Amino acid sequence: MRTVATCNHCRGEGEDRLWEGPLFRVVLVHDAGFPGWCRVIWNTHVAELSDLPP
Ligand SMILES: [Zn+2]
């Protein structure tokens, strides 16, 4: 299981940050197969979408 220290998303190195707020940020994922793909990253480590509170 990944922890905050080993999680690439939590470290946020080299990401193309489009927006940032108090709870999460939105980054552009550079993938030729999926142009415009954005990832929403919670500011505290959340491994899976299902781990978020309702
Ligand atoms: Zn994380």
- Model confidence at 3: pLDDT above 80: no
- In our burial notation (b when 16+ CB lie closer than 10 A, e otherwise), range 18-33 reads eeeeeeebebeeeeee
Backbone angles phi, psi at 37, to 5 degrees: -65, 125
First to last CA, the chain: 23
pLDDT at 43 over 80: yes
The domain locations on the chain are 4-47
If you measure from the C-alpha of residue 51 to the centroid of ligand 1, how many angstroms do you get, rounded to a whole number? 12
- The alpha carbon of 12 and the centre of ligand 1 are apart by a number of angstroms equal to 9
Mean pLDDT computed over every residue of the chain: 90
Q: For residues 34 and 24, give the distance between their C-alpha atoms in angstroms, rounded to a whole number.
A: 22
Q: What is residue 47's predicted lDDT score, i.e. its pLDDT?
A: 84
Residues near ion ligand 1 (Cβ under 5 Å): 7, 9-10, 45
Per-residue model confidence (pLDDT) at position 24: 93
Mean pLDDT of 22-34: 96
Q: What spacing in Å lies between the alpha carbon of 44 and ligand 1's midpoint?
A: 7
